[in-house]
């Protein structure tokens, strides 16, 4: 029996190879909303296959009536200076039409359960260009904060973050703008 202080949320199940194509669609949505570097489809496919086959990783999914509504990918990792292992979150994504649900909290609880079941620490972070403050509040209610990320050298992303911060300060909500095909060359330096 798995020993954990956190119970497995019944809303979250482990992805299987049968979920590959739909998870690939979820990852593409996640990339359009949060991606800051050029897209490598083969690398995305590789990560999904590892998680679906539980090869040093897992993917927890919230399956709705018609499709996957949310997913979290977790990977067995270690720091550059140590062989000590920990669970690293690769992504945690709730499809936009399901963001008024408790899916994100269930996915975080799943990650905590998984890490505790392996008796390993869990490292989760937020790398986003939209609604950072709201995402920080969500995570802070469930996990202690131990650091922060900063970015230099991607002007498009820096401008988007600055605009999002201005809108947040004015108290208005802005729907995240997904990256378009015309913006992708700008990000990878070819435009």
Domain boundaries, given as residue ranges, for the chain: 12-187
Q: Which SS3 state, helix, strand or coil, does residue 20 take?
A: helix
Q: What global pTM score does this model have?
A: 0.77
Give the pLDDT score at 154.
72
pLDDT tens for residues 143-153?
A: 888 887 766 77
Cα–Cα distance between 106 and 55 in angstroms, integer? 23
Label residue 16 by pLDDT band (50, 70, 90).
Answer: very high
Tokens 């990650």, located at residue = 111
Q: What is the pairing mode between strands 122-123 and 85-94? A: parallel
pLDDT surpasses 60 at 122: yes
Torsion over CA: 69, 131, 58, 22 (sign): positive
Give the pLDDT score at 184.
39
pLDDT tens for residues 163-188?
A: 655 655 555 444 444 444 443 333 33
Cα–Cα distance between 156 and 183 in angstroms, integer? 9
Q: With beta carbons less than 8 A apart as the criterion, state whether 94 and 69 touch.
A: yes
CATH topology of domain 12-187: Aminopeptidase (3.40.630)
pLDDT surpasses 80 at 73: yes
């Amino acid at each position: 029996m798995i020993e954990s202080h956190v119970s497995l949320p019944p809303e979250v199940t482990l992805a299987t190879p049968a979920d590959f194509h739909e998870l690939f669609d979820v990852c593409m949505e996640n990339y359009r909303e949060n991606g800051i570097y050029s897209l490598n489809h083969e690398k995305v496919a590789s990560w999904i296959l590892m998680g679906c086959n539980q090869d040093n990783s897992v993917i927890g999914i919230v399956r709705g009536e018609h499709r996957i509504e949310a997913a979290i990918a977790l990977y067995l990792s270690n720091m550059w200076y140590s062989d000590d292992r920990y669970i690293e979150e690769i992504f945690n994504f709730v499809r936009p039409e399901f963001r008024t649900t408790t899916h994100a909290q269930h996915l975080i609880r799943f990650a905590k359960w998984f890490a505790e079941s392996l008796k390993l620490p869990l490292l989760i972070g937020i790398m986003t260009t939209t609604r950072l403050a709201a995402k920080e509040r969500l995570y802070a209610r469930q996990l202690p904060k131990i650091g922060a990320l900063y970015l230099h050298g991607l002007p498009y992303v820096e401008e988007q973050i600055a605009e999002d911060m201005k809108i947040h300060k004015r108290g208005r909500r802005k729907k995240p703008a997904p990256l378009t095909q015309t913006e992708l060359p700008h990000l990878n330096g070819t435009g």
